[in-house]
Amino acid sequence: MFVRQLDYLVTLAREKHFARAAEICCVSQPALSAAVRNLENELGVAIVQRGQRFQGFTPEGERILDWARQTLAALEGLKQEASLSRVRLTGTLRFGAIPTTMPIVSLLTGPCRMQHANLQQLVLSLSSEEIMRRLDDFELDVGLTYLEDQRLNGFHVQPLYRERYMLLARDRAALGERREIDWKAAAELPMCLLTPDMQNRRIVDAAFRRAEVQSNVVVETDSVFALYAQVRHAELYSVVPHSLLCLFEPGGEMAAIPLVPELSRSIGLISLAHDPCSPIVIAARNIAMQIDLQTRFDRYLSPA
The CATH number given to whatever domain includes residue 40 is 1.10.10.10
Q: How far apart are alpha carbons 291 and 258 in whole angstroms?
A: 24
> How many domains is the chain partitioned into structurally?
3
Tens digits of residue pLDDT in 199-252: 999 999 999 999 999 999 999 999 998 998 999 899 899 999 999 887 765 556
Whole-number pLDDT of residue 304: 46
Whole-number pLDDT of residue 76: 79
Where a domain ends, among 13, 46, 80? 80
Question: In this structure, are 130 and 95 located in the same domain?
Answer: yes
Question: In this structure, are 227 and 289 located in the same domain?
Answer: no
Q: How far apart are alpha carbons 32 and 69 in whole angstroms?
A: 17
Whole-number pLDDT of residue 302: 58
Q: Name the residue range of residue 233's domain.
A: 165-262
Question: In this structure, are 120 and 178 located in the same domain?
Answer: no
| Residues forming beta bridges with residue 96, ordered by sequence position | 124, 143
Instruction: Give 202's Cβ-side CA count (13 Å radius).
Output: 6
- Residue 152 near residue 270 (C-beta atoms within 8 A): yes
Whole-number pLDDT of residue 49: 86
Q: At what angle do helices 3-15 and 59-85 cross, to 10 degrees?
A: 120
Determine the Cα angle at 232 with ends 195 and 304, to 5°. Answer: 110
| CATH number, residue 240 | 3.40.190.290
| Residues forming beta bridges with residue 151, ordered by sequence position | none
Q: Which segments of the chain have a pLDDT < 70?
A: 1, 52, 82-87, 248-253, 302-304
Question: In this structure, are 169 and 283 located in the same domain?
Answer: no
Contacts of 143 (CB under 8 A, 6+ apart): 95, 96, 97, 126, 131, 132, 134, 135, 269, 270, 271
Query: Where does the chain show beta strands of DSSP type E?
Result: 91-97, 119-125, 142-146, 155-169, 181-182, 190-194, 216-221, 238-241, 255-260, 264-272
